[in-house]
Amino acid sequence: MLSCAGVPIKATGSRSSPINDKINVNKILGIESSCDETGIALYDTDAGLLAHKLHSQVERHRAYGGVVPELASRDHLRYLLPLIQQTLDQADLPLQAVDGVAYTAGPGLAGALLVGAASAKALAWALGVPAMGVHHLEGHLLSPMLDQTLELPCLCLLVSGGHTQLIEVRALGEYHNLGQSLDDAVGESFDKIALLLGLDYPGGSALEQLAQTATGGHYQFPLPMTDRPGCDMSFSGLKTHTITTYRKAPPEHRAEIAHAFQHAVIETLLIKTWRALQETGLQRLVISGGVSANRQLRRRFTQYFTEKGVELIFPTMEFCTDNGAMIALVGAIRLANGEREQLEINVRPRWPLENLCKIAQAGK
């Protein structure tokens, strides 16, 4: 038996678990429930993505200014099965067509993860097909593969609500962390500053829109930790600086402050990413996670790195934020790699990306 990160992985065809007996896995149902989006998708290893559905809990959590874990679990429970049915209906396929189930096993909120994991394992057991626990960040990282060719090795800048990391992708499943935020994640900082500016949670996209209306260069915010060597980052000091500046500024400077904050974040990410590319000698850059939907970030990175001859890859807009399609895709790749799980329900709220197994042969 193989073992990866303490999680037993059985060779294809093991008889000890009733969900291990399927060898050719073609249509994979993906279930994402790590935080506040219930994402379901059906992925075909030959035809690609067949259908996907998303239920966002934004409205449920808005009054609290952030995700309330218990409410998130309950909403996943409420929406997961109807969304699976809607996804199958969209693909015009019966449940019996599913021959593998992938779910987000971590990192994320324990209760929310458990809803997805328990549903996935129960479904897989009932259908007699394998289930595969997927690392949420591997989903973000490989999300461009949903509709583009992704050649490896590459560098990945992963910027989401919970993570900010620079990852050297040496091969599928072989990830090396080059640097990360030592405090707030970039998406989290966007959300906190958006709240300060009176925008609704989650405010990343609204802050970007407000910043667009700024007329001009009133503020120059510091670029945190760029004067220090290495690829680690920090955004909590920039957040404090933004709060202090906002409290002293006239009300009509709201957009200017949003612009200065966003500019400082993007320039900091740019400097650290360039450093990581120089350190590794890599010429290919993937930018994924919720914040990669930021159009100004896309514009600035494209302009800066195209001049330097770096190939830039972004996921399609709808797959930047959490979704079931990226989970189904990674599940398909790992199931094709011969990985199989036991029937026990294990989630990993904390799960270092570097503990994953290298993938010998990728699925299509």
Binding site for ligand KG4 (CB under 6 A): 35, 160-162, 187-188, 190-191, 202-205, 208, 289-291, 293-294, 321-322
In the chain, the N- to C-terminal Cα span, in Å, equals 25
Per partner kind, with CB cut-offs from 5 to 8 A, the member of ligand KG4, Zn ion, none near residue 202 is ligand KG4
Verify binding: residue 45, Zn ion, rule CB under 5 A: no
Nearest-approach distance from CB 11 to ligand KG4, in angstroms: 32
Verify binding: residue 165, Zn ion, rule CB under 5 A: no
Nearest-approach distance from CB 327 to ligand KG4, in angstroms: 12
Paired tokens of 273: 């990413």
Q: How many Cβ atoms are within 10 Å of 142's Cβ, its own excluded?
A: 24
Verify binding: residue 138, Zn ion, rule CB under 5 A: no
Nearest-approach distance from CB 161 to ligand KG4, in angstroms: 3
Interatomic CA distance for residues 362 and 316, integer angstroms: 21
- Of 246 and 261, nearer to ligand KG4 (C-beta) is 261
Nearest-approach distance from CB 254 to ligand KG4, in angstroms: 17
Nearest-approach distance from CB 166 to ligand KG4, in angstroms: 16
Per partner kind, with CB cut-offs from 5 to 8 A, the member of Zn ion, ligand KG4, none near residue 329 is none
Nearest-approach distance from CB 16 to Zn ion, in angstroms: 33
Q: Which of 20, 87, 160, 342 binds Zn ion (CB under 5 A)?
A: 160
- Of 10 and 261, nearer to ligand KG4 (C-beta) is 261
Nearest-approach distance from CB 33 to ligand KG4, in angstroms: 12
Per partner kind, with CB cut-offs from 5 to 8 A, the member of ligand KG4, Zn ion, none near residue 293 is ligand KG4
Per partner kind, with CB cut-offs from 5 to 8 A, the member of Zn ion, ligand KG4, none near residue 191 is ligand KG4
- Of 119 and 321, nearer to ligand KG4 (C-beta) is 321
Per partner kind, with CB cut-offs from 5 to 8 A, the member of ligand KG4, Zn ion, none near residue 139 is none
Nearest-approach distance from CB 207 to Zn ion, in angstroms: 18
- Of 24 and 316, nearer to ligand KG4 (C-beta) is 316
Verify binding: residue 164, Zn ion, rule CB under 5 A: no
Nearest-approach distance from CB 191 to ligand KG4, in angstroms: 5
Question: Contact 290/320 with Cβ under 8 angstroms?
Answer: yes
Q: How many Cβ atoms are within 10 Å of 46's Cβ, its own excluded?
A: 8
Paired tokens of 188: 């989290």
HSE-CB for 112 with a 13 A CA cutoff: 25
Residue nearest to ligand KG4 (CB): 290
- Of 34 and 337, nearer to ligand KG4 (C-beta) is 34
- Of 73 and 342, nearer to ligand KG4 (C-beta) is 73
- Of 130 and 187, nearer to ligand KG4 (C-beta) is 187
**Interaction mask 320-339, Zn ion, x per CB under 5 A:** --x-----------------
3-class SS string, the chain: CEEECCEEECCCCCCCCCCCCCCCCCEEEEEECCCCEEEEEEEECCCEEEEEEEEECHHHHHCCCCCCHHHHHHHHHHHHHHHHHHHHHHHCCCHHHCCEEEEEEECCCHHHHHHHHHHHHHHHHHHCCCEEEEEHHHHHHHHHHHCCCCCCCEEEEEECCCCEEEEEEEECCEEEEEEEECCCCHHHHHHHHHHHCCCCCCCHHHHHHHHHCCCCCCCCCCCCCCCCCCCCECCHHHHHHHHHHHHHCCHHHHHHHHHHHHHHHHHHHHHHHHHHHHHHCCCEEEEECHHHHCHHHHHHHHHHHHHCCCEEECCCHHHCCCCHHHHHHHHHHHHHCCCCCCCCCCCCCCCCHHHCCCCCCCCC
- Of 39 and 130, nearer to Zn ion (C-beta) is 39
- Of 73 and 160, nearer to Zn ion (C-beta) is 160
Question: Contact 218/256 with Cβ under 8 angstroms?
Answer: yes
- The residue ranges that bind Zn ion (CB under 5 A) are 160, 322
